[in-house]
Structure 1
């Protein structure tokens, strides 16, 4: 009898043990995706044959950030989200704009939680694959799934389909967001756990979901000279999904451009001093807006220049860009340049056509077949075209603005917006810190930081330089805008970013096609200050007739 009891107990014990080993929890954990470092030598060697010397790389992956740690805190949330779930949601999410996603959610076809899980799964799927990873993400918000789940509890019937409510957005990692470090790509700021930037709070007030942080050019590309545009010590080398390790992904908002292009989020936020939104938006075939200085707050953003810096939205469509624009707005008393402006009219934007609109086109650029094709398309839609031959105009002292502004503005950020754990106080402190381990902290050198220290321009001299540059650059545009009563001047990519920067004029760039090699190019609209509503309307009208954007082939 005792033998039989013992036998039964052993059987039960064994059964229980076997059952425990096959629970869904353990099965899910066994299928977790792990990134494994690899030998980069062959990849690095291949870049030496590229025409663009800035793509001659010394490293691919970060030497201080283990990618697995990016999604580690979210693994348990992903344990029950399968490849089957991912593929089922693909048609509802991939390449969709905000209004389409919100409509699917209102109709019960999708939830905010599933939307977030889809992007997290996709990020891990691609970023853990050494043949496809873009090094585009530095951090993910550990609470984002929980936050999305809370949004799903609310009544969705009254949600504005043209709002950022519940929409997963990635921030460039020089924009403060509580719960994630703000590094600017620099090791010295790896533990910069700061409070929210003003625009971060604006997004949260509008109930957007912060998905995480994107890689960038270290110190917004005011760091090394002649180095890869998309490199940071924290995030490694950001890559272009249209030509991984072949085409530049642009800088300094390289990660923000790549994540939107590769559908790792609905939208991303970049920052620009001169070309840092326009360049990566163009290189990654997405829509990017560099607004008038002061339209968006810069408080809580790691700076280069308080004269020229601005954040801006990067999206797959013009209408999404306008939605993000409206979400950012708000006067910030902590930012001396901040102004209160009206929201853009979405109905006005979507009802605009090109009939009777007047555009200035650069005659020299008409040799570019994509630009010439875009201009022809616009003309055939009823617009008037004026061929311009502006005189080549230098921008003397431009570098000085960046040098002297950063020398003063970065210490102000550290004092007012960085976390207390950050020990460095000045540019000189950063230079010294990097010199302690140059191979890891500055493999391409830090020539631009060193240049800051050697610039002795006085405050009075700087004021004169700023006034002169503003006058020169505005004259460059206004001579033609005023003479022909133009609605906008059309450029390519970030070719006129420097002029727009010192003129403090807004610019929006829209995909206009791809070269024979498959590299994206964009048409850039430039107009006078505070003309964002008009620019977005013109960009929307062009986007509607051109429809040039296509998703990168290997990231479909």
Structure 2
């Protein structure tokens, strides 16, 4: 028996989960639906995303978020905000730097503009999005320091740019909650990737909301919900259009122009989903290119952090700022690349003669067809392909067994030592003390982790099978048809890209009739991020598909 579920319900890895079953289960029935077998555990949430039990956080208030910042904002008025709005909204990083060099504003004013905007729109009003959990209390002083540093040739393009971090990424001076009340006091040092950002002069603006524990917690909750941050809402349709998950706040905040850019994280679909759902650019790197140490984990096999931005060029700049070898990360990759590799000369990109595989089942989607025609107009060759008949067996078990061992390692090595909880069972017991606040949608996925008795040998077999299947899924058609890349929609193929450990990048390709944003997703083989960025840049410049959410202009 099959069950038809709206695509926006398939959270975390779920939009691509139809790909793990039969050919019938891989056939979309419309632009907004996919077929998923009723017993497919990868489609963990089957709850209509509009059935919210909670909207605003019961844990934090707007007043608390801004208590340390308001006094630092007294010299920035509504008039200042309105003066800068036309200069900053939708401006990319290069344009922001140019305007700063021209004296139109400085880094402090840029930072205060974003802070003013978050305070104005994000919480406790008719347009609230609940996309930001906390603000760095030191960011204004750090912006002033940036203004005291002359921007020189050779400095990284990320310098002085206010960046939001998904709130599972450790950052000095702030707590890292993963959206969970159990981690409300988890004050930490900087994750490796945050050190990378700071070493190049980026400003950490604050933390973005997320699907709690990167969505591997409740199973019956909407994407974008966390006990700490409340329910993240989509600026293209509050309470109408899903945010995607689990980097929901990162995707929403970027699209709503609350920061220059944001960091998300992905295990399978958690960057691609919110980026595409919020008309942003999201890149899931090759596993190991970006450090995972100091990031609250799900799976040391599949986890990665990555950039979410409004433009492809900004995505390249942010990726360039965070990649690098980290000896504490078991999967680290030393790419031996210099700063600037991902964004230098990106404007000279071409897709002329590049061959892209287009799954035949996606050719019923009119936005996808339009996107293919844009690529064809730029000289690309589109090859229709049949997808490999491969599944993703025991995918959920992989996540269970990884998180069971990886979370205690994070708690021991990177969390606040005052927090004594270590295991999944510890956190489950904590949540039961005040279930209405800590787990209004339950904690079924945590129960699944606790109950999973698989051993290390079983985990190794799962890892081997999934990696083999994931790579064959892409490699066979790419080799047979001499393809450069694979073209998907949103996070439809995120599961296969995840287990293959291949990079994937989504870029806005338009909007459905109800206003729901959709993304064209480029996938290729290991360490081909530069090529993905080049192809996406050409498509972005030719299509000009992104439109800012109108209520937030």
TM-score (norm. length: structure 2): 0.90
Distance 1:386 1:73 in 2: 55
Please say which of residues 177-186 and 66-75 is displaced more in the overlay: 66-75
Q: Alpha-carbon deviations, 1:142-175, whole Å to 9, x = none?
A: 111111112112223x256861111000000000
SS in 2 for 1:445: coil
- Report whether the alignment pairs 1:97 with 2:97: no
The residue number in structure 2 matching 1:481 is 478
| 1:413 maps onto 2:440 in alignment | no
Q: Provide the residue aligned with 2:220 in structure 1.
A: 226
- The correspondence for 1:107, drawn from 98, 102, 108, is 102
Q: Is the 8 A contact 1:488 1:525 kept in 2?
A: yes
1:10-59 superposed Cα distances (whole Å, 9 cap, x missing partner): xxxxxxxxxxxxxxxxxxxxxxxxxxxxxxxxxxxxxxxxx971331101
Measured against aligned partners, the alpha-carbon deviations of 1:497-543 in whole angstroms (never above 9, x if no partner) come to 00000000000000000001100000000000111111111111111
Matched, 1:337 2:334: no
1:513 aligns with 2:510: yes
Q: Which residue of 2 aligns with 1:266?
A: 260
What's the counterpart of residue 65 of structure 1? 60
The answer for unaligned runs of 5 or more in structure 2 is 1-45
Contact 1:222 1:448 in 2 (8 A): yes
Distance 2:140 2:234 in 1: 28
Alignment of 1:406-555 (within 5 A): 406-555=403-552
Q: Which residue matches 1:138?
A: 133
Correspondence for 2:150 among 155, 179, 186: 155
SS of the aligned residue for 1:196 comes to coil
Q: What's the CA shift string for 1:446-496, capped at 9, x where partnerless?
A: 000000011111111111111011111111111111111211100000000
1:83 maps to 78
1:312 Cα deviation from its structure 2 partner: 0.1
Length, aligned pairs only: 505
Q: Give 1:380 deviation, angstroms.
A: 2.1
Work out which structure has the larger RCO, using CA pairs closer than 8 Å and 6 or more positions apart in sequence. Answer: 2
2:30 is equivalent to residue 53 of structure 1: no
Provide, for residues 114-147 of structure 1, a one-character-per-residue CA deviation record: whole Å limited to 9, x for no partner.
Answer: 0001001000011244210100011001111111
Q: CA deviation at 1:384?
A: 0.8
Matched residue of 1:55: which SS?
Answer: coil
Q: 1:354 aligns with which of 351, 362, 367?
A: 351
Any conservation in 1 of the 2:193–2:291 contact (CA below 8 Å)?
yes
1:194 paired with 2:200, answer: no
Q: Distance in 2 between matches of 1:56 and 1:316?
A: 29
Q: 1:230, 1:122 → 2: CA distance?
A: 20
Q: Using the TM superposition, name which of 388-397 and 419-428 deviates more.
A: 388-397
Three-state SS of the structure 1 residue aligned to 2:379 is coil
Matched residue of 1:53: which SS?
Answer: coil
Q: Alpha-carbon deviations, 1:321-379, whole Å to 9, x = none?
A: 11111111221111111111125342442211221111000111111110011011111
Judge conservation of contact 1:99–1:161 (CA < 8 Å) in 2. Answer: no
Q: What residue is the counterpart of 2:7 in the other structure?
A: none
Paired residues of 1:54 and 1:226 also in contact (CA < 8 A): no
Instruction: Please say if residues 355 and 482 of structure 2, whose CA atoms lie closer than 8 Å, have aligned partners that are also in contact.
Output: yes
8 Å contact 2:401–2:449 — kept in the other structure?
yes
Matched with 1:26 is none
The 5 A counterparts of 1:287-302 are 287-302=281-296
User: Are the counterparts in 1 of residues 215 and 223 from structure 2 also a CA contact under 8 Å?
Assistant: yes
Instruction: After superposition, give the CA deviation of every residue in 1:97-126 in whole Å (9 maximum; x if it has no partner).
Output: 111101111111110000001001000011
Corresponding residue for residue 247 of structure 1: 241
Distance 1:250 1:288 in 2: 12
Q: Which residue of 2 aligns with 1:4?
A: none
CA distance in 2, matches of 1:339, 1:161: 24
Q: TM-score, normalised by structure 1?
A: 0.89
Q: Deviations over 1:242-292 (max 9, x none)?
A: 011111111100000000000000000000000000000000000000000
| Greater per-residue helix proportion | 1
| Distance verdict in 2 for CA 1:129–1:64, change over 3 Å | closer
Structure 1 gaps, min length 5:
1-50
Give the CA deviation at 1:393.
2.4
Alignment check: 8 A CA contact 1:103 1:161 kept? no
Contact 1:282 1:511 in 2 (8 A): yes
Distance (whole Å) between structure 2 residues aligned to residue 345 and residue 431 of structure 1: 42
Report SS of the residue matched to 2:49.
helix
Three-state SS of the structure 2 residue aligned to 1:54 is coil
2:166 maps to: 172
CA separation in 1, counterparts of 2:108 and 2:191?
25
Q: What is the CA–CA distance in structure 1 between the aligned matches of 2:156 and 2:141, rounded to whole Å?
A: 23
Aligned partners of 1:185 and 1:217 also within 8 Å: yes
What is the match of residue 276 of structure 1? 270
Distance 1:461 1:125 in 2: 51
CA distance in 2, matches of 1:188, 1:264: 27
